[in-house]
Amino acid sequence: MNDITFFKAFNPPTTNRRIVRKINNIISSGQFICGKHVKFFETAFAKYHQVKYCTALNSGTAALHLALLALNIGHPDEVILPSHTFFATAEAISLVGAKPVFADIDSKTMTIDPQDVESKINSHTKAIIPVHLYGQLAAIKKLKKVANKHGLFLIEDAAQAHGARLNQQKAGTFGQIGCFSFYPTKNLGAFGEAGATITNSKKLDQKIKMLRDHGQEKKYFHRFIGLNYRLNEIQAVVLKEKLFLLDLWVKKRQQIASWYQADLNHLDHIILPQSKKPQHHAYHLFVIRVKNRNQLQNYLSRKNISTMIHYPIPIHHQPPYKKIYSKLKLPHTDTVVSQILSLPLYPQLKRHQVFKITNTIKSFYT
């Protein structure tokens, strides 16, 4: 079959051989937790972002959770975030006992609208969590201004934005703490679950390092109530080796996005991702907007082309939140969510496959 899957993770064989060799060494050493590889990866990931500190964790959700705990955010604080994101962004806020306050998105960029953010600030507001959705930075300059003006923390959910930047400054480095996920499908993916925080604050980083390890300041001396959010050595080795590929793979993603743009830009039925600087976009996902989205998705599926919807239900409509937020109106979020469709995009996708996808989309409309 000529199936085009939505996602495929394959590394160059040389990278895989190196990883296997290092995993064998870990197995022989017996040191699976708190060894040298986690530290190696942290140093490399901090350096990649030109920041001082990185703490490796066992998921992106853990990164968001610990960022909030490290900043002492909890009940009755409020944290502003988009509703159009992966559930974990809101979950972390609720887990620390704070209240998620959902702001609308700018329908052009599909990221949080700084004006709507500002209108939702009150005396309980402690932080803003912009999400660099689909690999594109949110309006980070404006958000930073709003945060500074009102004395709020800025925590970036950069789980989809490894390698995205604004000029030379990378996603995750604009606020107090940047949060990353290395879930296998992300731009930098582990061989399982993993995540990290980055920061320039020694104090915040030390607290996050204690919190990930049961709040331990030293062995069996527990300064805080923490969690077990440690990353294991095997995932750290995988990430360290794959970090070398990140920039190259982001370039490939940008090239594939440019093929989609070239093939589809003259179609009136489709709104393509809009980016002033495509060279800054990390293209974690290539998300188009169309009116008859479900029919198009079914049609593509019948032609063996897999697509997905990121995400089909905004968070304020999800069961744990929908009663509390039944009166909340986020018109741009609701419209955009009914129209979005994510097309296949991974570094090894070939030109002829993109042609097949775009020609099939064209045939749907004619």
Ligand X SMILES: *Cc1c(COP(=O)(O)O)cnc(C)c1O
The site for ligand X (CB under 6 A) is made up of: 59-61, 85-86, 88-89, 131, 157, 159-160, 181, 183, 195
What's the min distance (Å) between Cβ of 89 and ligand X? 5
Give the nearer residue to ligand X in terms of CB position, either 275 or 358. Answer: 275
Give the nearer residue to ligand X in terms of CB position, either 125 or 181. Answer: 181
What's the min distance (Å) between Cβ of 25 and ligand X? 26
**Spatial CA neighbour of 115 closest among 145, 159, 87:** 145
Spatial CB neighbours of 168, under 8 Å, sequence gap ≥ 6:
none
Give the nearer residue to ligand X in terms of CB position, either 135 or 347. Answer: 135
Q: Rounded to whole angstroms, how far apart are CA atoms 337 and 325?
A: 17
| DSSP H or E segment with residue 50 | none
What's the min distance (Å) between Cβ of 166 and ligand X? 18
Q: Rounded to whole angstroms, how far apart are CA atoms 83 and 104?
A: 7
Nearest residue to ligand X, by Cβ distance, number only: 60
What's the min distance (Å) between Cβ of 132 and ligand X? 8
Q: What does the DSSP assignment read for 56-95?
A: EES-HHHHHHHHHHHTT--TT-EEEEESSS-THHHHHHHH
Q: Rounded to whole angstroms, how far apart are CA atoms 128 and 157?
A: 10
Give the nearer residue to ligand X in terms of CB position, either 59 or 83. Answer: 59
Give the nearer residue to ligand X in terms of CB position, either 315 or 343. Answer: 315
What's the min distance (Å) between Cβ of 137 and ligand X? 13
DSSP strand pairing (153-157 vs 125-128) = parallel
Give the nearer residue to ligand X in terms of CB position, either 160 or 199. Answer: 160
Whether 79 and 95 have beta carbons less than 8 Å apart is answered as no
Q: Rounded to whole angstroms, how far apart are CA atoms 314 and 331?
A: 11
Burial of 148 (0-12, 13-18, 19+ CB in 10 A): exposed
Q: Which two tokens stand for residue 251?
A: 């370039």
Whether 196 and 236 have beta carbons less than 8 Å apart is answered as no
User: Helix or strand or coil: residue 239?
Assistant: helix
Please state the length of the chain: 366
Q: Rounded to whole angstroms, how far apart are CA atoms 269 and 6?
A: 22
Give the nearer residue to ligand X in terms of CB position, either 336 or 361. Answer: 336
Give the nearer residue to ligand X in terms of CB position, either 139 or 296. Answer: 139
What's the min distance (Å) between Cβ of 160 and ligand X? 5
What's the min distance (Å) between Cβ of 232 and ligand X? 14
What's the min distance (Å) between Cβ of 295 and ligand X? 27
